[in-house]
Amino acid sequence: MAFVNPSDTAIEPQRKMIRRITAIPGMVIFGLFWLGLIVLCAVFVDLLRPYDITQMDLSARLLPPGTPGHWLGTDELGRDVLSRLIQSVRVSLVIAFGATIISAIFGTTLGFLAAKFRGVVEHFVVMLADFQAALPFLIMSLAVLAFFGSSMVLLVCLMGFYGWERYARIARGLAISAGAQGYAEAVVQLGATPRRVYLRHILPNVASTLIVSMTLTFPEIILMESGLSFLGLGVQPPETSLGNMVGFGREYLTTAPWIMLFPAILIMLTTLSISLVGDWLRDKLDPTIR
């Protein structure tokens, strides 16, 4: 008769956790760590920010990084770059997260409608998706913001229409595939309404693919917002965003490059981390790869 050491059974879950962590590629661990750090900065920005973003000190203009009290230097108005950088992280993440949610909901809804009704509705949704994919979205955004003026709500809603055609195509294809597998038809025979079929049975089965698509769209929206803010039609002063800081810092690229350099590096690392984590999630959640 074999006896099991109680200490071995207590250590086994820890060993499994260690094996799972060591199985994650190093770049993905870096991406997860960086995204966690960015989220913490966005949540606790009021506690981490050493100065108010509008606090000016003209006697401390263009101080270089490493100056005591201004570890990332100051800008042309003597405002603390670190404080504005932390605030910019929150603004850029709120815009990107809100726009990604709007895009995913809108695109998934149209995809499900196309899969449900087929025929004319399906052709209309596919045609609309093709039109959206061929549309120069940046030029359209510039025109809309220049005509209506820039505001946070309009910017988030406008960014929310970026990339919705991907979700529509994915949701339509997966919903048609799920319907062909039979389980959706089975719950219909039991008396379930179409809304219950799609929300309670089909959506959970396609959610993993949609979540991965969101991680791929998220960095693109961050870059899109940064480009609009760089051109002066995104986030408006006194509020600040990463693209906004890059746009204002370009005028001091030769005399004070840190004003533009730090937000540019932050944009690069954040988009890279999201892309790395998104690719890893796609490999982990895609059943065809396993």
Q: What is the pLDDT of residues 86-107, one digit of tens each?
A: 999 988 888 888 898 999 999 9
Residue 60 lies in a domain: no
3-state secondary structure of 108: helix
pLDDT at 2 over 60: no
The larger pLDDT score, comparing residue 164 to residue 181, is at 164
Residue 138 lies in a domain: yes
Closest listed residue to residue 102, CA positions, set 153, 143, 36, 136: 153
Residue 247 lies in a domain: yes
Residue 15 lies in a domain: no
pLDDT digits (tens, 9 = 90+) for 234-259: 888 888 888 888 888 888 888 888 88
Residue 182 lies in a domain: yes
Which residue in the block uniquely carries the two structure tokens 């750090």? 37
In the predicted model, what is the mean pLDDT of residues 216-233? 82
pLDDT of residue 157: 87
pLDDT digits (tens, 9 = 90+) for 131-144: 888 888 888 888 88
**Residue 80: CATH number of its domain:** 1.10.3720.10
Residue 225: which domain range? 30-45+76-285
Ramachandran area for residue 191 (φ above 0: left; ψ -120 to 50: alpha; else beta): left
pLDDT exceeding 90 applies to what percent of the chain?
Answer: 8
pLDDT of residue 7: 53
The tally of domains found in the chain comes to: 1
Q: For residue 4, give the amino acid letter.
A: V
Residue 41 lies in a domain: yes
Q: How far apart are CA 29 and CA 35, in angstroms?
A: 10
Which residue in the block uniquely carries the two structure tokens 């746009």? 247
Which residue in the block uniquely carries the two structure tokens 């991965």? 212
Please provide residue 67's backbone torsions phi and psi, each rounded to the nearest 5 degrees: -70, 130
pLDDT digits (tens, 9 = 90+) for 13-31: 656 555 555 577 888 899 8
- Alpha carbon distances (Å) from 209 to 92, 136, 174, 271: 25, 26, 9, 20
Residue 14 lies in a domain: no
- What global pTM score does this model have? 0.79
pLDDT at 180 over 80: no
DSSP secondary structure letter of residue 251: G
Q: How far apart are CA 104 and CA 171, in angstroms?
A: 10
pLDDT of residue 206: 78
Q: How far apart are CA 248 and CA 62, in angstroms?
A: 13
Please give the mean pLDDT across all residues of the chain: 81
Query: Which pairs from 210-213 meet CB under 8 Å and 24+ separation?
Result: 210/104, 210/108, 210/167, 210/170, 210/171, 211/281, 211/285, 212/278, 212/281, 212/282, 212/285, 212/286, 213/104, 213/166, 213/167, 213/170
Helices H / strands E in the chain, number of each: 13, 0
Q: Quickly count: other Cβ atoms within 10 Å of residue 290's Cβ.
A: 7
In the predicted model, what is the mean pLDDT of residues 157-163? 85
Q: Are 246 and 223 contacting, i.e. CB atoms less than 8 angstroms apart?
A: no
Residue 117 lies in a domain: yes
